[in-house]
Amino acid sequence: MLNDNGHNDYAIEFRDVSRRFVLHHEQRASFQDWFIGLIRPRGHAEEFWALRDVTFGVRRGETIGLVGRNGAGKSTLLKLVTRILEPSSGNVSVNGRSYAMLELGAGFHPELSGRDNIFLNGSLYGFSRKEMSGKYEQIVRFSELERFVDTPVKHYSSGMFARLGFGIAISMAPEILVIDEVLAVGDSSFQEKCLRALADLKAKGTTILFVSHDADTVRSFCDRAALLVDGHLIDIGPANDVVDHYARLLMTREPRFSLLRVRALDELRLPTEAIRSGDDLTVEALIRAPEGLDTSILSLQIDIDQIDGVNLWETRINLPSELPLTEQAASQRSENLPDTRVARVTLPDFPIASGAIRLSATLLDTSGEQSRFLDHQETILRVESTHIDDRGLLRLEHHWEWEQPQPTPPVEASTGGVTERLRGLR
């Protein structure tokens, strides 16, 4: 929208934007299935609309918080702003130099060090090496990663990814900053540090669009908020009013299933952020399932992806009609905790060689003709190599053999025919 001087008042504009995805229902039970899936047709598929007819604008220098349940369309909206995705219909306009912090680890090359990734990010956003050299100390100091800046980022924890990403984002001084829930990672002191840095950017006129499940942060930091429900924008206005609307919505909606977390367990079934290649890996999903509701309508999907988004493995299971309560939920009913159930899948001798991977769990309602998205959780896991001389994605069992070759006995060649031919040439 142009003002009287012919300038656009909006840094970001959405006009009747919808985004459609195609969901495939082929189960991949092993890494072998994944490789076979590269060359054979997919199974049954259905459409899923992540956003429907979304229209709104973000004014220059404004801060807007996106709120809504997991699966409401918030992350999809941010990816449309950053051009990672294109709309299926409608138009998205972005007016200004932007920087995005989306999924943890996105935009980083796992094999490169933190130092190299700083310069790589700078070049991707149009900064010369000389310009990034001037920002380097500021980035490292802000991220507090001095000891680890020369370590390949595939060995970073989720908190370290967030620190480095935020340090780079702050140094870029973008006109538009897009953030997806990264404030939820890391200790409270670093979160406060990030909020102070964001407040400085806001005071300098940076347009900020971010997703947060922290209602207090949205109330105190945002000028306005937007509420998404099942892909529809149902409210946008003063942050306090929209957060109140969202709270009322959560209280009045019928009880539903949800995912509370997904995490990795080591061989002792203890929570971990890192495992050794070749060890058994267990992925655990904590499900909220109120008593009296039929869990047989649920399907749980577990995905393992590389940080750059390449899917390594996917499996899906239909839940039984009755799931046992976790011991904690059963013993603490008096505290009115949500009814929680646990699902675990174990992968013996985990074959990924090394690096950071993303574990995710998705909960689906399969009661209708089409599966309906309910909830999603994810986490980052580091895989540590046990064979320092191995390279590549997979850890493959192998052995070497050494042998002294035996001398080959000389072969006596018959020369009679050759002699006769030579005579004929004379």
List of residues 6+ apart from 394 with CB closer than 8 A: 31, 351, 352, 353
Residue 92 and residue 225 in one domain: yes
Q: What's the number of domains the chain is made of?
A: 2
Domain harbouring 334, CATH code: 2.70.50.60
In a domain, 394, yes or no: no
Indicate if 196 and 282 belong to the same structural domain: no
Does residue 380 sit in the same domain as residue 245?
no
Is 407 contained in some domain? no
**pTM summary value:** 0.64
**Two tokens, residue 235:** 């409210």
The owner of tokens 């839940």 is 319
Which CATH number does the domain housing residue 30 bear?
A: 3.40.50.300
Contact present, 377 and 261 (Cβ < 8 Å): yes
3-class SS string, 67-95: ECCCCCCHHHHHHHHCCCCCCCEEEEEEC
**Is 425 part of any domain?**
no
Strands 63-67 and 207-211: parallel
* Co-location of 61 and 160 in the same domain: yes
339 and 243 in a common domain? no
Residue 416 placed within a domain: no
Note whether 344 and 211 are same-domain residues.
Answer: no
Q: At which of 226, 252, 278 does a domain end? A: 252
* Domain of residue 214, residue span: 10-252
Q: Cα–Cα distance between 216 and 237 in angstroms, integer?
A: 16
Which H helix or E strand runs over 228?
strand 224-229
224 and 266 together in one domain = no
263 and 239 inside one domain: no
Q: Is residue 125 part of a domain?
A: yes
| In a domain? residue 227 | yes
Say how many CA atoms lie within 13 Å of 416 toward its Cβ.
1
Are the beta carbons of 238 and 231 closer than 8 angstroms? no
In a shared domain, residues 300 and 347: yes
Query: pLDDT tens digits, the chain, 426 residues: what are they?
Result: 545 454 568 999 999 999 998 766 555 555 555 555 555 555 555 678 899 999 999 999 999 999 998 788 998 999 999 888 999 999 999 999 888 888 666 678 888 999 999 999 989 888 899 999 999 999 999 998 999 999 998 888 878 888 898 899 888 888 999 998 766 666 678 888 888 899 999 999 999 999 988 888 899 999 999 999 989 999 999 999 999 999 888 776 655 788 888 999 999 999 999 999 999 999 999 998 877 777 888 899 999 988 767 888 999 988 887 666 555 544 444 334 457 888 999 999 999 888 889 999 999 888 877 777 888 888 989 998 877 666 777 877 777 788 888 777 766 555 555 555 555 555
